[in-house]
Chain A
Amino acid sequence: DAGVTQSPTHLIKTRGQQVTLRCSPKSGHDTVSWYQQALGQGPQFIFQYYEEEERQRGNFPDRFSGHQFPNYSSELNVNALLLGDSALYLCASSGLGINTEAFFGQGTRLTVV
């Protein structure tokens, strides 16, 4: 079992550009959540996808959007990048049922210059 895989591992973008990050959940998991972890901070919840729909959202602007595919994989898109979007973006997957353990990927380190 490959666990949760994220791509790419590192990314450098210029202010104003758009970026897409990808996540493949752990086998058997159907729910994907995305978190932003700024340097020296704890992860902050961005949004969660289940059955290809956004189930809930944290306090992030509409520049942050996502998608879930029929195979449960997910994308995080960020438009009009700001310097403050530089962070480690973590994907977590979980399975059916309430409070099954969330497994995290290694993250994508995004640097905006």
Chain B
Amino acid sequence: AQSVTQLDSQVPVFEEAPVELRCNYSSSVSVYLFWYVQYPNQGLQLLLKYLSGSTLVKGINGFEAEFNKSQTSFHLRKPSVHISDTAEYFCAVSVPNRDDKIIFGKGTRLHILP
């Protein structure tokens, strides 16, 4: 079975400062990795995904993530955050060639401080 651990439930950061949201996963097989964002009272929007190839993945809104197989991590980063980045961020995995079921972490709430 697969699982996802998001190490921080909340992350406060000042506007224009860099941020890193941490994610670790557990799986006995190779997985695809995702980061989703959820704005207040909204559904989920895909930020970026890692399927294969380059371990550094660039997504929308200036976010990027790096896949580290040895550390089973997929941390999300942004060099300079904006107030509009205030949202809940979910790390997720799915198993290739099996199904589309997505397994989510519990989420990290990003607070942007003025």
List A residues at the B interface (Cβ < 8 Å): 4, 31, 33, 35, 40-45, 48, 55-56, 58, 90, 92, 94, 98-102, 104-107
Cβ-defined contact, A99 with B43, below 8 A: no
A33 to B106, alpha carbons, bound, how many Å? 19
Known contacts A48-B99, A92-B102; can you find 6 more A-B pairs with CB under 8 A? A33-B101, A42-B104, A43-B44, A43-B90, A43-B102, A99-B51
Give the bracket for the number of chain B residues in contact with chain A.
20 to 34
B101 contact from A48, A100, A101, Cβ within 8 A: A48
* Contact call B106/A42, Cβ cutoff below 8 A: yes
Q: Does B94 contact A (CB under 8 A)?
A: yes
Contact call B107/A41, Cβ cutoff below 8 A = yes
Please classify the interface of chain B as helix (H, G, I), strand (E, B), loop, or mixed, using the class held by over half of its residues.
loop
Residue in B43, B105, B106 whose CB lies within 8 Å of A106: B43
| Interface residues in B77-113 (C-beta closer than 8 Å to A) | 90, 92, 94, 96-97, 99-107
In the complex, are the beta carbons of B101 and A45 less than 8 A apart? yes
The distance in angstroms between the C-alpha atoms of A100 and B100, with both chains bound, is 8
Given contact pairs A42-B107, A43-B90, A98 touches B101 in the complex (Cβ within 8 A): no
For the complex, is B32 an interface residue (Cβ under 8 Å from A)?
Answer: yes
Which listed residue (A31, A44, A101) contacts B104, Cβ 8 A? A44
Contact (Cβ within 8 A) A104 B43 = yes
A31 to B101, CA, bound (A): 11
Residues in B neighbouring A94, C-beta threshold 8 A? 100
Q: List 7 A-B pairs, Cβ < 8 Å.
A: A4-B43, A42-B107, A43-B104, A45-B102, A48-B100, A99-B94, A106-B43
> Which residues 29-79 of B have a CB within 8 angstroms of A?
32, 36, 41-46, 49, 51
Q: Give chain A residues whose Cβ lies under 8 Å from the Cβ of B36.
A: 104
Most-contacted residue by chain A among B43, B92, B102, B107 (CB, 10 A): B43
